[in-house]
């Protein structure tokens, strides 16, 4: 059991709430730093992918989890970042500059897409972002002079200060570094007035507005930050896979990103990384189980999407906070040790709220 | 003549979009949920019809009835098992559940050995027949689509206008709580709406099957029906059909007059324009919340 005795208002706003958290996150950092010596090269590449998807998930979390705006076109931002990075690197731009441009361009795209968000909401916004995702996908396919169209685009390895980061280990370090930086940025954002405004908008637009929050400005900011993070993930993704083609940035990919943050736990920073881990680990887990399954089931192509969909439905039905919810319950159980009650997290029944009125 | 030809083919394609959009709107009006699995329900309908024709040897029209019934039952079951338990949760979660249902449906059909991954032609009595009116050459399957859509609209209109259950559905969609107080079994009605909407989707699937083919990704056409529903105004049944027609015609014209690539995105450009100009759609109602 842990008891945090608060003596200062600032304690509520600190990044680490108590010494235990500091200790465990330091351990996590150490483990990630030691990973190149502990795991195989293939697993290291998978860890880099988890970091990359986690960054994209963080972006979506800021938008959907904290500001409450649905985006069904996030793969488009990922694609913008990836293609900008690829094209600029091939022109001979240094990596940091190309990366900055990729993030910036994605953020600008985000602002453009966010403009309809000022007028429409809920399902209309989802459809506007969906429409945008389709259009950008088509642009990538048709603009062959720049993107290579359907035949794809080969991307060189990232190079930092003249040294190519072509080995799995060096690129892994880069990904982890960016993931940690992105997490810190988002954490700090969320405890700043801007982040509080996002949460207020999510919970009730009307009351946020009457508290003096400029809806248009904050929604646009949320879109810009979210798209910028997705662009960062896209740029790293381009260097990780070394090959880009339009079918990596389809609407299905957008939907999968959304499913990822839902499985991880919507509205939590942990959720982005938990979800990314599920997305990366699921094909491996299914691959490992295949020999044990009957042949007709194990070799079927559709097994993976079916399982992914079932996991999503299961989580929404039984654990709406996703994997983070599980983790949170276990943590609470340990922290309150003898006093945990089964009903503590019972879901409240609520009436359906109408979105038609606004 | 060219113009008329394009108009007719656009209209028949638009009817398909309209039928799927009708499914969205039915569910949205009744339960305020957007069903992202509508396209997959259509795909299930087409596969059910295929199974009825190929394996059971039923004639096309009987297979159509069988497919519609099967998928309607599937819709009912989905509502009961997956959606009713999370009634009252945020709309976002419910939307994600329907996305999950669509995902599972697509994956499960892919998993059927020897059927799921192939493209099938649906044998129909009117396949490849051509009707000539003056200089106009029309495919019979396009005319069937238009005729069946008109018939269905008449039936739905009659249902909502003249039957007890239709009027109860209207009441529930206007104000669920008040309808509940008036003794209308809102939950059961929601289930029936899901069944009805799934049936309409299956019908669209059976009508679309002779034009395209039956394959597992035909459900993605549902994503084009969204723009149709938005253009019509999301809460309006005639609007859904009108929106479908607009999208179908815009698409068929842009496929002919504009360079390659515009046909597939025309629907989305149209919906973005509509959202920028008139977010409530052609027939949408504007409601405001007073604090």
Residues 29-58 of A with CB under 8 A from B: none
- Which residue, among B23, B78, B9, B2, has the nearest Cα to B226 in the 3D structure? B23
Q: Give B205→chain A minimum CA distance, Å.
A: 21
What distance in Å separates the CA atoms of residue A216 and residue A222, rounded to the nearest whole number? 10
First to last CA, chain B: 56
What distance in Å separates the CA atoms of residue A230 and residue B80, rounded to the nearest whole number? 37
Structural domain contains residue B290? no
Structural domain contains residue B276? no
Sign of the CA dihedral with A261 first, then A263, A267, and A268 last:
negative
Which H helix or E strand runs over A338? none
What distance in Å separates the CA atoms of residue B103 and residue B111, rounded to the nearest whole number? 12
Structural domain contains residue A135? yes
Structural domain contains residue B252? no
**Minimal Cβ distance to A120: which of B107, B117, B275:** B275
Q: What is the pLDDT of residue A107?
A: 95
**Minimal Cβ distance to A130: which of B109, B176, B226:** B226
Q: Please give the tally of structural domains in chain B.
A: 1
What distance in Å separates the CA atoms of residue A303 and residue A285, rounded to the nearest whole number? 12
DSSP per-residue string spanning A193-241: HHHHHHHHHHH-HHHHHHTT--HHHHHHHHHHHHHHHHHHHHHHHHHHH
Q: Which residues of B239-259 are buried (b: 16+ CB within 10 A; e: fewer)?
A: bbbbbbbbbbbbbbbbbeeee
- Which residue, among B217, B199, B149, has the nearest Cα to B27 in the 3D structure? B199
Taking the Cβ of residue A120 and every Cβ of chain B, the question of whether any pair is shorter than 8 Å is answered with: yes
pLDDT tens digits, one per residue of A271-282? 999 999 999 998
Nearest CA in chain A to B87: A352
Which residues have a Cβ under 8 Å from the Cβ of A49 and sit 6 or more positions away? Answer: A240, A276, A280
CB-based contact A258:A72 (threshold 8 Å): yes
Q: Please give the tally of structural domains in chain A.
A: 1
Asked if the Cβ–Cβ distance from B96 to A301 is below 8 Å, we say no
| Residue reference for tokens 């913008």 | A80
Q: What is the pLDDT of residue B287?
A: 59
Structural domain contains residue A191? yes
**pTM here?**
0.88
Count of A–B CB contacts within 8 Å?
157
Asked if the Cβ–Cβ distance from A123 to B34 is below 8 Å, we say yes
pLDDT tens digits, one per residue of B236-281? 888 888 899 989 998 888 888 887 777 788 888 888 888 888 777 7
Q: At what angle do helices A123-142 and B262-277 cross, to 10 degrees?
A: 150
Q: Which domain holds residue B204?
A: 12-218
And the tokens for A257? 């990103």
Structural domain contains residue B178? yes
Structural domain contains residue B274? no
Taking the Cβ of residue A257 and every Cβ of chain B, the question of whether any pair is shorter than 8 Å is answered with: no
CB-based contact B126:A322 (threshold 8 Å): no
DSSP per-residue string spanning B99-149: HHHHHHHHHHHHHSTTTTTS-BPPP-TTTT-EEEETTEEEEHHHHHHHHHH
Structural domain contains residue B174? yes
Structural domain contains residue A145? yes
CB-based contact A129:A230 (threshold 8 Å): no
Q: What is the pLDDT of residue A358?
A: 41
**pLDDT above 50 (res B145):** yes
Query: What is the DSSP-derived secondary structure letter of residue B214?
Result: B
ipTM of the complex: 0.85
Top residue of A72, A123, A204, A308 to mutate, by most chain B CBs within 10 Å, is A123
What distance in Å separates the CA atoms of residue B7 and residue A29, rounded to the nearest whole number? 63
What distance in Å separates the CA atoms of residue B37 and residue B165, rounded to the nearest whole number? 25
Q: Between the CA atoms of B90, A348, B182 and B284, what dihedral angle is there, to the nearest 10 degrees?
A: -10
- Which of A269-273, B18-22, B86-90, B215-219 is least confident? B86-90
First to last CA, chain A: 45
What distance in Å separates the CA atoms of residue A344 and residue B287, rounded to the nearest whole number? 38
pLDDT tens digits, one per residue of B162-204? 999 888 888 888 777 788 888 888 888 889 999 999 999 999 9
Average pLDDT, chain A: 86
CB-based contact A322:A267 (threshold 8 Å): no
Asked if the Cβ–Cβ distance from A64 to B92 is below 8 Å, we say yes
CB-based contact B49:B209 (threshold 8 Å): yes
Asked if the Cβ–Cβ distance from B100 to A132 is below 8 Å, we say no
Mean pLDDT, range A110-122, rounded to an integer: 79
**Minimal Cβ distance to B107: which of A132, A309, A320:** A309
Mean pLDDT, range A198-221, rounded to an integer: 90
Average pLDDT, chain B: 84
Q: Which domain holds residue A203?
A: 19-250
And the tokens for A161? 């200060």
Query: What is the DSSP-derived secondary structure letter of residue A162?
Result: T
Query: What is the DSSP-derived secondary structure letter of residue B135?
Result: T
Structural domain contains residue A326? no
And the tokens for B178? 């008040």
Confidence of residue B129 (pLDDT cuts 50, 70, 90): confident
**Minimal Cβ distance to B108: which of A266, A302, A357:** A302
Beta bridge partners of B130: B139
Mean pLDDT, range A21-47, rounded to an integer: 90
CB-based contact A49:A240 (threshold 8 Å): yes
Query: What is the DSSP-derived secondary structure letter of residue A351?
Result: P
Q: What is the pLDDT of residue B215?
A: 85
Q: What is the pLDDT of residue A237?
A: 93
Structural domain contains residue B68? yes
DSSP per-residue string spanning A7-72: --GGGGG-SS-SHHHHHHHHHHHHHHHHHHHHS-HHHHHHHHHHHHHHHHHHHHIIIIIIS----S
Structural domain contains residue A149? yes
Q: Give B29→chain A minimum CA distance, Å.
A: 10
Q: β-pairing, B130-133 with A153-154?
A: unpaired
Q: With 0-12 CB in 10 A as exposed, 13-18 as middle and 19+ as buried, what is B2?
A: exposed
Taking the Cβ of residue A258 and every Cβ of chain B, the question of whether any pair is shorter than 8 Å is answered with: yes
Structural domain contains residue B245? no
Strand, helix or coil at A161? coil
What distance in Å separates the CA atoms of residue B36 and residue B47, rounded to the nearest whole number? 19
**Minimal Cβ distance to A306: which of B107, B264, B269:** B107
Mean pLDDT, range A194-207, rounded to an integer: 90
Asked if the Cβ–Cβ distance from A352 to B176 is below 8 Å, we say yes
Structural domain contains residue A297? no
């Amino acid at each position: 059991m842990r008891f945090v005795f608060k003596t200062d208002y600032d304690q509520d706003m600190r990044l680490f709430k108590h010494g235990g958290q500091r200790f465990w996150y330091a351990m996590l950092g150490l483990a990630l730093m030691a990973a190149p010596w502990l795991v195989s090269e293939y697993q290291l590449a998978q860890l880099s992918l988890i970091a990359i998807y986690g960054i994209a998930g963080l972006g979506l979390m800021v938008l959907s989890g904290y500001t409450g705006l649905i985006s069904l076109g996030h793969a488009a931002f990922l694609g913008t970042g990836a293609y900008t990075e690829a094209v600029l690197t091939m022109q001979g731009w240094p990596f940091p500059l190309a990366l900055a441009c990729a993030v910036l361009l994605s953020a600008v795209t985000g602002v453009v897409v966010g403009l309809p968000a000022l007028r429409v909401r809920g399902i209309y916004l989802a459809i506007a972002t969906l429409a945008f995702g389709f259009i950008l996908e088509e642009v990538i396919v048709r603009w062959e002079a720049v993107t290579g169209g359907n035949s794809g685009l080969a991307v060189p390895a990232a190079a930092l200060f003249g040294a190519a980061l072509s080995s799995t280990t060096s690129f892994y370090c880069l990904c982890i570094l960016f993931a940690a930086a992105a997490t810190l940025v988002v954490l700090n954002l969320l405890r700043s007035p801007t982040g509080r405004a996002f949460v207020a908008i999510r919970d009730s637009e009307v009351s946020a507005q009457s508290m003096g929050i400029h809806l248009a400005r904050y929604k646009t900011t949320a879109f810009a930050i979210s798209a910028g993070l997705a662009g960062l993930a896209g740029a790293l993704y381009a260097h990780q896979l070394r090959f880009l083609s339009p079918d990596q940035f389809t609407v299905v990919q957008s939907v999968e990103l959304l499913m990822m943050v839902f499985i991880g736990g919507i509205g939590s920073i942990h959720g982005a990384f938990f979800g990314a881990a599920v997305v990366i680990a699921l094909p491996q887990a299914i691959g490992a189980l295949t020999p044990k399954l009957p042949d007709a089931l194990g070799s079927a192509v559709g097994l993976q999407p079916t399982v992914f969909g079932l996991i999503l439905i299961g989580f929404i039905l039984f654990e709406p906070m996703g994997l983070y919810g599980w983790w949170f319950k276990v943590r609470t159980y340990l922290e309150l040790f003898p006093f945990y009650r089964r009903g503590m997290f019972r879901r409240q029944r609520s009436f359906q709220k109408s979105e038609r009125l606004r | 003549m060219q113009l008329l030809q394009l108009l007719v083919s656009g209209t028949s394609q638009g009817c398909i979009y309209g039928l799927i959009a009708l499914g969205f709107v039915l569910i949205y009006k009744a339960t305020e949920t957007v069903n992202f699995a509508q396209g997959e329900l259509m795909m299930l309908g087409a596969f059910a019809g295929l199974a009825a024709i190929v394996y059971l040897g039923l004639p096309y029209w009987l297979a159509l009835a069988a497919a519609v019934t099967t998928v309607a039952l599937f819709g009912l079951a989905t509502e009961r098992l997956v959606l009713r338990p999370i009634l009252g949760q945020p709309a976002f979660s419910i939307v994600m559940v329907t996305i999950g249902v669509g995902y599972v449906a697509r994956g499960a059909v892919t998993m059927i050995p020897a059927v799921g991954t192939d493209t099938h032609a649906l044998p129909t009595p009117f396949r490849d027949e051509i009707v000539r009116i003056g200089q106009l050459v029309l495919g019979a399957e396009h005319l069937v689509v238009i005729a069946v859509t008109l018939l269905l609209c008449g039936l739905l209109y009659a249902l909502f206008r003249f039957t007890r259950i239709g009027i109860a559905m209207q009441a529930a969609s206007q104000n669920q709580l008040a309808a509940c107080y008036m003794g209308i079994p809102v939950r059961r009605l929601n289930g029936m709406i899901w069944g009805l909407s799934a049936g309409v989707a299956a019908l669209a699937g059976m009508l679309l099957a002779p034009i395209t083919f039956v394959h597992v990704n035909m459900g993605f056409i549902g994503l084009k029906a969204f723009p149709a529903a938005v253009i019509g105004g999301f809460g309006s049944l005639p609007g859904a059909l009108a929106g479908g027609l607009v999208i179908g015609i815009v698409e068929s014209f842009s496929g002919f007059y504009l360079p390659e690539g515009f046909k597939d995105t025309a629907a989305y450009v149209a919906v973005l324009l509509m959202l920028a100009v008139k977010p409530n759609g052609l027939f949408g109602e504007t409601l405001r919340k007073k604090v």
